[in-house]
Structure 1
Amino acid sequence: MILISSCFILLINAVTSRQDKYLSYNRITSLILLYSIFLAFNSLDIICLGTGIGIYGGLFLITSIRQNFVVFILILSFFILQLISFHNRDFKYLKKPLIKQISDNIEKTERNAIIDLSGIIDFPTIILFILVGAVCLMSCCDLITMFLCLELQSYGLYILSSIYRNSELAIGAALTYFLLGGLSSCFILLGSALFYVNTGITFIEGIYALYSSTDVMLIQSQDWILNLFENQVKEEWIKTNEVNPIESFDISLIILSIGYLFKVSSAPFHFWSPDVYDSLPTLVTTFVAIMAKISIFIFMLDLVHFSSEAKTEFFWTDILLISSFLSLIIGTVVGLVQTRIKRLFAYSTISHVGFILLALTINTLESIQAFIFYLMQYSLSNLNFFFILLSMGYYLWYYHSYYLLKDQLNSPLQLIIQVKGFFYKNYMLSLCLAITLLSFAGIPPLLGFFGKQMVLSAALDKGFYFMVLIAIITSVIGTSYYLAVIKLVFFSENNDIIKEHYNETINTWNWNYIKSELIKTKIIKKKIRLLSTSLSLMISCLTLIILLFIIKPDPWLSSVKILTIMLFNS
């Protein structure tokens, strides 16, 4: 459905004579996503979905977990697309000539902002192609299709990152993302090639079965042979014996996992993500930071779970555990010294990726349940955070913040200090931001607390006491930079003023006072409305999910538990 719709929209773009109907294209794409969600959700009723359904000659395998996450990413994409499906600000109520200079500048800024944020007609088409790659990646069962689907998703993200050609920072970030993404793809391709060299097959399920049986046969044959010889002969036999195929299996998976850790920006392969997230337009960062990780983590879930039977002394998932440890440390410590809000968010993401990798590495019933729950709740919290970030940016346009920054049309909110005193501009939006940040910090009874609690509980049951200690310490330290942002929002004075070249007589007045005076004199006939109904509704719903999860947690937790049991029984 998504692929056919993508081709249909491409055809429309090719034959249309009107290139200014970007809102219509975005709304059509929203309807396509809604219909795709309906089809994917209806397919969950298929009984044999629990054991898996092979399609296209076994190249893809549809299971309950994968299909549920297909629905999940389609819903997230629908929410993201609403950011550019409606105009978010309206300044037409400003009358002339009393504040003509202010009105002219505001309308000019508004017009430029709309062109930069929504006027690219190819935006929804690129999103659909990225979704095709993400959906296929989660369902692939062959190394070749895995690489092709991953590259389809990645190249769509590269194009999306460079789509704002008027932004020097965005082009630089897109080039960095492309080069390092290509490097990670080389690791993935090398790991896949080693699999094929050692086994002669590319079917992933066949590789699991082969190495699981080889492990048992190899151990039995080694024990029987070594019992026939003296110690000296044993040592010579071990030295001259061929390489353990399970060890080559581990090496291949280690190389493959390094490529995936690059993609999800996990330490020590994280160095590209703060620069890329900070330089990209906020609208693009919203999609890149959320959607690029979900499909890769779901594929890694199957990779870890079904390869766990062929364990050796140093198993390949140990590198995931090391990466989890480094992600927790680096994401927390380096985040303490950040002054730019999207760089702070990038390091916060690295820290949370450490929790996700910890749950993935343990590979027990409880840990996989924690992994699925954490991935879903953090994606929702991320989405809400970016919605709030964009909404605050609209307010900075309106108030004409006195910070002169590069690329401020595409990313009006860049510095942490720009949220200073935002409570006096919009107290409800500030409250939503505080709830989201406290959820990131894991403060009860918010949604993020339950995700961290489930991961730590699974790690304690499995004996990962040191990792639990590190996770708790880093969570406490990381809370400080979330609280610092909240302190700026609620307890600092609002210093935004009108720029001098707008009107010399009011250049030192607080805009809240100007607004109240204009309303009193009926120059402004209605209350100021900077956010569209769709954006306000999405922020409200996501914030209520984060805040009120404790009231009705059973449906979500029960669904996650059922999916985990089906995975272990498959």
Structure 2
Amino acid sequence: MLISSILSILLSNAVTKRRDIAILYNRIAIIILMYCILNDISSLTVVTKGVGLHGGLLLITNITQIFHIFVFIVSALILTLTSFYPRKIWTKEYSSIKDIFLYNFVYYNTKIINKMGEHLKIIEYPLIILFVITGAILLMSTNDLVSIFLAIELQSYGLYILSTIYRNSELSTTGGLIYFLLGGLSSCFILLGTGLLYANSGSTSLDSLYIITSISDLNSIDLWYKPYYINLSLVLFTIGFLFKVSAAPFHFWSPDVYDAIPTIVTTFVAIIAKISILILLLQLVYYTKNNFSGAQGMNWTFILLTSSLFSLIIGTVVGLTQFRIKRLFAYSTISHLGFILLALGISSVESTQAFIFYLIQYSISNLNAFIILIAIGFSLYCYTSENKEHEELSDKTNSPIQLVNQLKGYYYINPVLALSLTITIFSFVGVPPLVGFFGKQMVLSAALDKGLIFLSLVAILTSVIGGIYYLSIIKEMFFDLPEYKINTLFEGKGNIINKNKAIVKNVNFDYKNIAISSPISFVISVITLLILLFIFINKEWLSMGTILVQMLFNN
């Protein structure tokens, strides 16, 4: 379905000159993803212990299918940002359900609904996103070293192009170039690890690797492979992937790239790229977790725990000095990756359940934070800033909110959006009873069960210290007065017309009638309520994690 839709959109791109129908292509992409979700749900009961495809190149299991569905859902939610105009005129007296069906509100002002917004005119955007999703889906399901490399490159090339897709943005081009160069470096590590694994085991199939690691006899001296050599190969292989997910100490590209590329693109780069790689690493860790420890040295998964320690410390300490909001979010992501890698490196039943839960809840919370950030930019249409620094921001069109102090006093402008962002940030901090608290608690519980007391203490301390930079955002929003002034000259005129296109009434409107469009408001509302009310709807979510882990460990 994804490949046929890529081909059809590619062909339709070739024959159209109208860039303003990009909004239609985005909606088609959402419909395609909805169909893919239904397709995966219908085959969930067919796949139980796993199905090998294409001669073992791909392996479909219930875990990969659940995360396929999750990637499709998150991608569809991100596409709502470019599938609908960001603002609408809302008049209370003509907004009842009856009036919506009987009458239309017609007004001429393309600036209000942002018809000429750059993100609504990029016709290739949904096409590249479908390429990236295809790469992510193949990467999660892959079972061969060759197909791993092809899938990661398909995903990465799409992300490089996506980062530079705003042709007129100098910052975006710079960010995309940094991403491309350092992404190429990480691919070299993956290729080197792949080459060494093949040279030592004689096979590119992960099944062969799993068999070798499960039957290793350390006392035998006439093995045709060297156990420590496979360990080293897997360490190099994993370093390449840690580069891709921006885990410390391989994180240095992500704050610059996140900050430079447009916020709508950052939303996709920050979430989708990480999910697919972490699910691949989950399977790799699980199937090789018993290999070569003891006499010959440590298991290769020590690199995950080492990276977890660095990520927790660097993501928290360096984050304290940030005043640009997307750089702050980048360091926040690095810090949360520390928790995810801690759960991944332990590889017990409890830690794997914590890993699946943490990955899902953090992806959803991160998505909400970025969508709210974009919505705040959309909501400031009628306001002018007294701060000269805000007025002179470069690339303001593509990323309206760039500095933390741009949120100063935002609660007085739009209290609902400010509260939504606050709930999401408290979830990042791990304040009970929000969903983020349960994720951290599960990871720490699994770490303590395994005896990793030092790492658990570091995780708790960094989580507390990290609360400082999150609370600085909340302080700016709620306890400072806004620097924004309303444009009092703004007013508009429109007509209410009936189905026969006859004018029923002339309506004047002002800045109070401008609201964020319904699809974006709906996405923010649903995710915020999910974060807030998780304690009441936790059964299905936790049960799914338990079932998936039991299926994995009982295979």
Query: After TM superposition, is the score higher than 0.5?
Result: yes
Kept after mapping to 2: 8 A contact 1:367/1:458:
yes
Residue number in structure 2 paired with 1:187: 189
1:459 paired with 2:447, answer: yes
Equivalent of residue 546 in structure 1, options 531, 538, 542: 531
Residue number in structure 1 paired with 2:299: 315
Correspondence 1:374-523 to 2 at 5 A: 374-401=358-385, 402=387, 403=390, 404-497=392-485, 510-511=486-487, 523=508
After superposition, what is the alpha-carbon deviation per residue over 1:41-78, rounded to whole angstroms, capped at 9, x for unaligned?
Answer: 111121xx231100111110000000000000000000
Correspondence 1:215-226 to 2 at 5 A: 215-216=216-217, 218-219=218-219, 221=220
Task: For 1:242 and 1:398, locate their aligned partners in 2 and report how far apart those are by CA, in whole Å.
Answer: 73
Cα distance change, pair 484–17 in 1 and its aligned pair in 2 (3 A) = closer
Task: For 1:58 and 1:184, locate their aligned partners in 2 and report how far apart those are by CA, in whole Å.
Answer: 26
Residue number in structure 1 paired with 2:102: none
Residue number in structure 1 paired with 2:521: 536
Task: For 1:523 and 1:7, locate their aligned partners in 2 and report how far apart those are by CA, in whole Å.
Answer: 46
1:339 paired with 2:341, answer: no
Task: For 2:511 and 2:117, locate their aligned partners in 1 and report how far apart those are by CA, in whole Å.
Answer: 26
Residue number in structure 1 paired with 2:180: 178
Alignment-mate amino acid for residue 130 of structure 1 = V
After superposition, what is the alpha-carbon deviation per residue over 1:10-64, rounded to whole angstroms, capped at 9, x for unaligned?
Answer: 1111123533211111111111111111111111121xx2311001111100000
- How many residues align? The count is 519
Cα distance change, pair 37–125 in 1 and its aligned pair in 2 (3 A) = same
Deviation at 1:86, TM superposition (A): 0.6
Larger radius of gyration: 1
Deviation at 1:527, TM superposition (A): 4.0
Residue number in structure 2 paired with 1:556: 541
Greater Cα shift, 16-25 or 474-483: 16-25
Q: What RMSD in Å do the two structures reach over aligned CA positions? A: 2.2
After superposition, what is the alpha-carbon deviation per residue over 1:86-135, rounded to whole angstroms, capped at 9, x for unaligned?
Answer: 10124799xxxxxxxxxxxx968668784311110000000001111000
Equivalent of residue 161 in structure 1, options 154, 160, 163: 163
Cα distance change, pair 177–343 in 1 and its aligned pair in 2 (3 A) = same
Alignment-mate amino acid for residue 443 of structure 1 = V
Unaligned runs of 5+ in 2: 92-107, 494-506
Equivalent of residue 566 in structure 1, options 521, 527, 551: 551
Helix, strand or coil for the counterpart of 1:166?
A: coil
Residue number in structure 2 paired with 1:274: 255
After superposition, what is the alpha-carbon deviation per residue over 1:147-188, rounded to whole angstroms, capped at 9, x for unaligned?
Answer: 001000000000100100100000000000000000000000
Deviation at 1:315, TM superposition (A): 1.3
Task: For 2:117 and 2:533, locate their aligned partners in 1 and report how far apart those are by CA, in whole Å.
Answer: 37
Task: For 2:24 and 2:306, locate their aligned partners in 1 and report how far apart those are by CA, in whole Å.
Answer: 48
Kept after mapping to 2: 8 A contact 1:113/1:409:
no
- Whose strand proportion is higher, 1 or 2? 2
After superposition, what is the alpha-carbon deviation per residue over 1:370-418, rounded to whole angstroms, capped at 9, x for unaligned?
Answer: 0000000000001100110000111233313341200000000000000
Cα distance change, pair 343–526 in 1 and its aligned pair in 2 (3 A) = closer
After superposition, what is the alpha-carbon deviation per residue over 1:186-224, rounded to whole angstroms, capped at 9, x for unaligned?
Answer: 0000000001100110000111102322x22x32x36xx
Task: For 1:23 and 1:560, locate their aligned partners in 2 and report how far apart those are by CA, in whole Å.
Answer: 36
Correspondence 1:106-121 to 2 at 5 A: 114-121=116-123
Equivalent of residue 299 in structure 1, options 280, 286, 290: 280
Residue number in structure 2 paired with 1:101: none
Equivalent of residue 53 in structure 1, options 44, 48, 51: 51
Residue number in structure 2 paired with 1:99: none
Cα distance change, pair 92–72 in 1 and its aligned pair in 2 (3 A) = closer
Alignment-mate amino acid for residue 443 of structure 2 = V
Helix, strand or coil for the counterpart of 2:411?
A: helix
Alignment-mate amino acid for residue 432 of structure 1 = S
Task: For 1:305 and 1:389, locate their aligned partners in 2 and report how far apart those are by CA, in whole Å.
Answer: 37
Deviation at 1:244, TM superposition (A): 6.9
1:363 paired with 2:344, answer: no
Task: For 1:113 and 1:470, locate their aligned partners in 2 and report how far apart those are by CA, in whole Å.
Answer: 49
Helix, strand or coil for the counterpart of 1:310?
A: coil
1:64 paired with 2:52, answer: no
**Identity score, percent:** 54
Task: For 1:179 and 1:483, locate their aligned partners in 2 and report how far apart those are by CA, in whole Å.
Answer: 35
Normalised by the length of structure 2, the TM-score is: 0.90
Task: For 1:311 and 1:372, locate their aligned partners in 2 and report how far apart those are by CA, in whole Å.
Answer: 26
1:352 paired with 2:336, answer: yes
Task: For 2:520 and 2:547, locate their aligned partners in 1 and report how far apart those are by CA, in whole Å.
Answer: 33
Kept after mapping to 2: 8 A contact 1:190/1:255:
yes
Kept after mapping to 2: 8 A contact 1:359/1:458:
yes
1:286 paired with 2:267, answer: yes
Correspondence 1:53-132 to 2 at 5 A: 53-90=51-88, 114-132=116-134
Task: For 1:36 and 1:111, locate their aligned partners in 2 and report how far apart those are by CA, in whole Å.
Answer: 31
Task: For 1:109 and 1:182, locate their aligned partners in 2 and report how far apart those are by CA, in whole Å.
Answer: 40
Alignment-mate amino acid for residue 50 of structure 2 = G
Kept after mapping to 1: 8 A contact 2:86/2:113:
no
After superposition, what is the alpha-carbon deviation per residue over 1:458-481, rounded to whole angstroms, capped at 9, x for unaligned?
Answer: 000000000000000000000111
Deviation at 1:144, TM superposition (A): 0.3
Residue number in structure 2 paired with 1:139: 141
Kept after mapping to 1: 8 A contact 2:382/2:490:
no
Deviation at 1:529, TM superposition (A): 2.5
Task: For 2:393 and 2:66, locate their aligned partners in 1 and report how far apart those are by CA, in whole Å.
Answer: 42
Kept after mapping to 1: 8 A contact 2:88/2:113:
no
- Whose helix proportion is higher, 1 or 2? 1
Equivalent of residue 356 in structure 2, options 372, 393, 404: 372
Correspondence 1:250-261 to 2 at 5 A: 250-261=231-242
Cα distance change, pair 247–88 in 1 and its aligned pair in 2 (3 A) = same
Task: For 1:185 and 1:155, locate their aligned partners in 2 and report how far apart those are by CA, in whole Å.
Answer: 11
Task: For 1:288 and 1:249, locate their aligned partners in 2 and report how far apart those are by CA, in whole Å.
Answer: 31
Kept after mapping to 1: 8 A contact 2:90/2:513:
no
Helix, strand or coil for the counterpart of 2:249?
A: coil
Task: For 1:16 and 1:348, locate their aligned partners in 2 and report how far apart those are by CA, in whole Å.
Answer: 41
Task: For 1:438 and 1:460, locate their aligned partners in 2 and report how far apart those are by CA, in whole Å.
Answer: 24
Unaligned runs of 5+ in 1: 94-105, 223-240, 498-509
Task: For 2:379 and 2:19, locate their aligned partners in 1 and report how far apart those are by CA, in whole Å.
Answer: 28
